[in-house]
Amino acid sequence: MSQYTLVHGDILYSDTSDTLACYPDSWMVIRSGLIEAVEPVKPDIEGAKVRDYGHQLILPVFSDLHFHSVQYAMRGLGRDKELLPWLQTYTFKEEACFANIEYAERVFKQLLNELWTEGSFNLCTFSSLHLEATLLLMDMYEANEFRAYVGKVNMDSNDPILVEDTEASFEDTKRWIEESRALKYTKPIITPRFAPSCTPKLLANLGRLVEEQQLPVQTHLNENHGEIELVAELFPDYDNYYDVYRKNGLTPEGKTVMAHCIHNTKPELEAMKEDKVLIAHCPASNVNLSSGIMPLRDMIDQGFLIALGSDIGGGDRLFIGHAIVDAIRSANILSIVHEGKVAPVTFPEAYYLATAGGGSFFGKTGTFKPGYSADYIVVDDSCWPATNRYDLSERLEQFIYAGSGDRITERCMRGNLIAKPYSSL
């Protein structure tokens, strides 16, 4: 039997970080789950399976590089608070509920259904500090063929409700890594919640583990002024916030995701560039918690690796289209405030962050170049009155601004169609 699948439709993906490749009425050639080519004429391959989507859009799956799977149930709460009181009032109480595995399963089922609906399949996410809930979450992502980095959160200081013993946090982390080793698509990522949640001893132990086992790391950085002051108080011997992670071995080159990165100093930016840190820009959360506006234009121009994060529950919407729009709007606001002296960010640039930019952290996914994993969504926008007058890039823009997962008719990972995870819910 042929290993080939031919996929027909209006195909579109990021060609470069600021241009789109548009292939109307074209064919994607998939062999053993990988893309061989996208071309305008149907290739003549005997025995190939055909999936014909007519004039629907075929797009890369979305990448969400920063969100908290365990904050799904508290989305939208506490928008009158800044980060530290928000964590104390809502977040830690909600996350404490994940000691109950039945509750965890109930939340995760709904979350996975919504991620599937919204077309987000490349994920980098925080769990809670609980070992059992984290392993369950990983099993569920794996069973439904998401590509996910999942972190058991480490936090052994500065909260009376949600806190681990230093030794227990480290021992649980080692056990978690051991127990998740067999998974194929879902991988562990070391996750100190943020510097203020961790003792120096725990940070140093985690750093050694990262080095020994060549593990990736995710955490928060420079999100909020109160947070940054707290880090300076708690870690007076370090040069800056980023230095706390770096000196403890928690910034492995090319394998580190730092969320937010709004209020960075020059030495921090230089170090992050050197370490090839991926910055997870979370525009909705940054405004919801009055954290600030990340200078996206400037960061792109400086050549940083950047992706988008929904940051559920600091953010409120899982559809990454919202993150694209919020990133563009935030950049527009900065441009307005600076009376045009700061340029805005274009649609193709923001779309790139949400697909190919985020995908780059996982390997070859997020665009449709030869050798990339055949990870796509299919979008039917024919119900909208004027789509037949628009070209592909305009239809994409309209889907991102005015659409949602309701317009997605099919999801495919590694060449295989993906069914709704929990259809009985």
Binding residues for ligand GUN, rule: CB under 6 A, are 68, 83, 87, 91, 193-194, 220, 223, 285, 311, 314
What's the CA gap between 30 and 48, in Å, rounded? 9
Nearest alpha-carbon partner for 161 in 229, 107, 238, 98? 98
Bridge pairing between strands 4-16 and 49-60: parallel
Question: DSSP state, 293?
Answer: -
Name the residue nearer to Fe ion (CB basis): 145 or 311: 311
Closest approach, Cβ 354 to ligand GUN, in A, equals 19
Q: Give the separation between CA 173 and CA 191, rounded to whole angstroms.
A: 10
Partner interacting with residue 74 (select from Fe ion, ligand GUN, none; CB below 5-8 Å by kind)? none
Q: Is 423 exposed, middle or buried (0-12, 13-18, 19+ CB in 10 A)?
A: exposed
* Complex with ligand GUN: residue 83 or 129, whichever CB lies closer: 83
Residue 122's binding partner among ligand GUN, Fe ion, none (Cβ under 5 to 8 angstroms by kind) is: none
| Contact by Cβ (8 Å): 278, 299 | no
Contact partner at residue 299 from Fe ion, ligand GUN, none, CB < 5 to 8 Å by partner kind: none
For residue 304, how far is the Cα from the chain centroid? 16
Quote the least distance from Cβ 286 to ligand GUN, whole Å. 9
Tracing tokens 């600091």 back to the chain, one arrives at: 314
Please write down the long-range contacts of 393-397, taking CB distance under 8 Å and 24 or more positions apart.
393/12, 393/20, 393/22, 393/347, 393/348, 395/10, 395/57, 396/12, 396/20, 396/57, 396/59, 396/351, 397/347
Least distance to ligand GUN, CB of residue 61, Å = 24
Q: Report what 223 binds from ligand GUN, Fe ion, none; CB cut-off 5-8 Å by kind.
A: ligand GUN
Are the beta carbons of 68 and 282 closer than 8 angstroms? no
- How large is the angle between the packed helices 101-118 and 131-143, nearest 10 degrees? 30
Q: Which of the listed partners (ligand GUN, Fe ion, none) does 87 bind, with a CB threshold of 5 to 8 Å by partner kind?
A: ligand GUN
* Dist CA 10 CA 4 (whole Å): 19
- Picked from Fe ion, ligand GUN, none, the partner binding residue 411 (CB below 5 to 8 A depending on kind) is none
Nearest CA to 195 out of 287, 84, 290, 93 is that of: 84
194 binds, among ligand GUN, Fe ion, none (CB under 5 to 8 A by kind): ligand GUN
Give 88 or 398: the residue with its C-beta nearer to ligand GUN.
88
Provide, rounded to whole angstroms, the least separation between the CB of residue 159 and ligand GUN.
10
Find the shortest distance in angstroms from Cβ 155 to ligand GUN. 9
Binding site for Fe ion (CB under 5 A): 311
The CB-of-116 to Fe ion minimum distance in angstroms stands at 22
With respect to ligand GUN, which residue has the nearer C-beta, 86 or 351? 86
Nearest Cα to Cα of residue 333 among 301, 286, 300, 289: 286
Rounded to a whole number of angstroms, the minimum distance from the CB of residue 220 to Fe ion is 6
> Residue 83 or residue 353: which is nearer to ligand GUN going by CB?
83
Pick between residue 120 and residue 219 the one whose CB is nearest to ligand GUN: 219
Nearer to ligand GUN, 120 or 285 (CB): 285
Residue 193 binds: one of ligand GUN, Fe ion, none (C-beta under 5 to 8 A by kind): ligand GUN
| Smallest distance from Fe ion to CB 243, Å | 21
Could you give phi then psi for residue 137, rounded to 5 degrees? -60, -45
Residue 227 or 311 having the CB closest to Fe ion: 311
